[in-house]
Amino acid sequence: MSHGPETRILIWILSVFCLAFAAPAPQSLREAAQHSGVLIGTAVRPAQLSEAAYAATLAREFNLLEPEDALKWEVLRPDAQSFDFRQPDQVVDFAARHNMRIRGHTLVWHRQNPPWLTSGDFTPDQLSKLLETHIKTVVGHYQGKIFAWDVANEAFDEGDRTGKLRSTIWHDQPGIAVATTHEPSAPSNPAPSELGARGSPSPYSYLAQCFRWAHEADPAALLFYNEAEAEEINLKSDAIYAMARDFKHQGVPIHGIGLQMHISNLHPDIASISANIGRFTALGLQVHITEMDVSLQVDANGNASSADLQRQANIYRQIADACLAHPGCTAIQTWGFTDKYSWIGSHSKHTQGAALLFDSHYRAKPAYEALRNALAAR
Ligand code: XIL
């Protein structure tokens, strides 16, 4: 079929118009995420910020940063009296220069604590004072700079089968002395794992106390409870749900749940993860995906098969879709971004790795394209 000259001119004008005004494909994750309502973040190592490719990729792709280790007690606290903010301050400066938000990780955890703390034989009263000072000083130092904090991390037992609180220095070894001024309310429909006898302190009181201290130090900061192996619906996420609901009843200042999302089997139950995000957001809490990586089997050179790289891409896309389907899921963050610097590999004798969006030469992997497409589709 041939067109007359007028029709051809019209088609030409229309094509030029479309090329000029059609939205260009997003060039980065942060550009793709711009209109999606979610922040796109990653964990960072201050020592690497001076590496040009590391810094350029970070600034181009992400609008949210979280120090991977630099805000943990073992880095921040050389001794019981002092605070060393040099490492996290580097991340905060970088974020400010590149118009990025910052998540803080983490104030209360059983790991990466300095020996002076863990072997200090402190009494509950002393520990309580130490923790209160730590939380208020650190949150206060970053007031207005760190917009969201993982107040507590991994306070429940390892695995997803008990739903019990973990024995830690903060909880019961010997635990902090908890002020009893805030008696738990009796919710109309308490879950079995929820409260002790009416009027007795809730087993979660020590965590509630930490959220209150953080809130006092920065009333505008969003306060999260962050956990591993609680992505799907299981005994651990049930227990966290019961705790969060109890906190909401009592007016404990909690604003969100962090789901770590370290995935090491290639078959996560996406429907269960989506339902879990749904029940937390239905409580009026935000959900952040805080530490996503998808580790693959790798050869001696650290390379994964192309079939596994595709499976990995699919999982990144499905998790992003599950988050984006719930308006209360407001951040997707990966635990590092280049396979050059990833905690996967360091803890699995190098048979697992290649878990992140860029390879060790900062080349985008299929997972990167999949995530960018998922973000751009919203
Ligand atoms: C990891 C860091 O990535 C490593 O650099 C460090 O040696 C150990 O901790 N869950 C968490 C993170 O909440 O803080 C952990 O980070 C990974 C598991």
Instruction: Give the torsion through C-alpha atoms of 123, 125, 126, 131, to 10 deg.
Output: 120
Q: Please indicate whether residue 343, judged by its CB atom, sits closer than 6 Å to ligand 1.
A: yes
- 40 CA from centroid of ligand 1 (Å): 19
Please indicate, yes or no, whether the overall pTM of this predicted structure exceeds 0.85: yes
Residue 356's identity, in one-letter code, is L
Beta-carbon contacts of 271 under 8 Å, excluding residues fewer than 6 positions away, are none
- Considering only CA atoms, which of 370, 361, 368, 366 is closest in space to residue 301? 361
- Cα 262 from Cα 229, distance rounded (Å): 8
- 291 CA from centroid of ligand 1 (Å): 9
Residue 182's identity, in one-letter code, is H
- 183 CA from centroid of ligand 1 (Å): 34
Q: Contact, 33 vs 375, CB < 8 A?
A: yes
The full length of the chain comes to 378
Q: Please indicate whether residue 85, judged by its CB atom, sits closer than 6 Å to ligand 1.
A: no
- Per residue of the chain (378 residues), give pLDDT as tens: 455 666 665 665 556 555 555 667 899 999 999 989 999 999 999 999 999 999 999 999 999 999 999 999 999 999 999 999 999 999 999 999 999 999 999 999 999 999 999 999 999 999 999 999 999 999 999 999 999 999 999 999 999 999 999 999 999 999 999 975 444 444 444 443 444 444 457 889 999 999 999 999 999 999 999 999 999 999 999 999 999 999 999 999 999 999 999 999 999 999 999 999 999 999 999 999 999 999 999 998 899 999 999 999 999 999 999 999 999 999 999 999 999 999 997 655 679 999 999 999 999 999 999 999 999 998
- Cα 55 from Cα 49, distance rounded (Å): 5
94-129: b (≥16 Cβ within 10 Å) or e? bbeeeebbbbbbbbbbbeebbeebeeeebeeeebbe
Rg (CA), the chain: 23
Distances (CA, A) of 185 to 163, 205, 280: 21, 12, 20
Q: Please indicate whether residue 74, judged by its CB atom, sits closer than 6 Å to ligand 1.
A: no
Atom of ligand 1 lying closest to residue 342 CA? 3
Instruction: Give the torsion through C-alpha atoms of 285, 248, 204, 275, to 10 deg.
Output: -40
CATH code for residues 28-376: 3.20.20.80
- Cα 191 from Cα 246, distance rounded (Å): 9
Q: Please indicate whether residue 42, judged by its CB atom, sits closer than 6 Å to ligand 1.
A: no
- 315 CA from centroid of ligand 1 (Å): 21
**Residues assigned a catalytic role:** 154, 291
